[in-house]
């Protein structure tokens, strides 16, 4: 390959190598799901860019028509690509990492975050926009049951799971939004309250529809 690959292209190439090493090349749909693309056409664009750089060859008209050049085929015997489970809307009363909560396994290295991420949680709504977290973003979460005041946390209040700043004042707790249109949340005495984890990163998909 004479032209260097971008980090995203390198990640997709590693994914292709891993899937070929398991027996079959991925489909465009497989790639779109693994990398969070809104459509298969986005995956196709990345594949054509890889082909133009000589990293792969494409057999037109075949769903799995992706091949590695002969010089790269030995690279398929490698450690599988690292992933994180993506959690969508959390069902009331269910553990966050229960199998039925997991939408997909995303091609994101957990060790890219400090502390290490355990899962991705999709955010709904605009209550945290001033913290740089928008509707549809995914936050990377490190599981832990405690957090200091001021930390950005994933918390469970009753039957809801939310992303907010934690505020501690003596024995009292408030969850603070990052949008003046929303009021702080104060858990009632009869509500379940639990910290599920610490937000350690934000991922945004720029090709998602508005």
Provide the annotated active-site residues: 127, 164
Cβ atoms of 85 and 47 within 8 Å: the answer is no
| Residue entry with tokens 């939310």 | 162
| Residue entry with tokens 């700043």 | 165
CA distance 24 to 138: 29
Q: Which residues of 58-96 are buried (b: 16+ CB within 10 A; e: fewer)?
A: eeeeeeeebbbeeebeeeeeeeebbbbbbbeebeeeeeb
Query: What is the CA 52 to chain-centroid distance, rounded?
Result: 28
């Amino acid at each position: 390959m004479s032209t260097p690959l971008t980090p995203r292209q390198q990640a997709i190439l590693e994914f292709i190598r891993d899937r070929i090493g398991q027996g079959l090349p991925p489909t465009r749909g497989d790639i779109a799901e693994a990398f969070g693309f809104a459509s298969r056409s986005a995956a196709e664009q990345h594949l054509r860019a890889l082909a133009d750089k000589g990293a792969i060859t494409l057999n037109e008209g075949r769903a799995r028509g992706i091949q590695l050049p002969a010089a790269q085929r030995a690279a398929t015997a490698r450690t599988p690509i690292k992933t994180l489970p993506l959690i969508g809307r959390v069902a009331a009363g269910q553990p966050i990492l229960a199998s039925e909560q997991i939408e997909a396994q995303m091609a994101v290295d957990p060790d890219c975050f400090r502390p290490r991420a355990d899962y991705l949680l999709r955010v709904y709504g605009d209550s945290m926009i001033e913290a740089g977290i928008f509707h549809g973003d995914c936050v990377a979460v490190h599981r832990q049951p405690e957090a200091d005041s001021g930390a950005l946390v994933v918390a469970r209040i009753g039957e809801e799971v939310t992303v907010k700043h934690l505020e501690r004042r003596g024995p009292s707790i408030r969850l603070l939004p990052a949008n003046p249109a929303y009021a702080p949340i104060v858990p009632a005495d009869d509500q379940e309250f639990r910290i599920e984890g610490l937000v350690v990163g934000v991922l945004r998909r720029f090709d998602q529809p508005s």
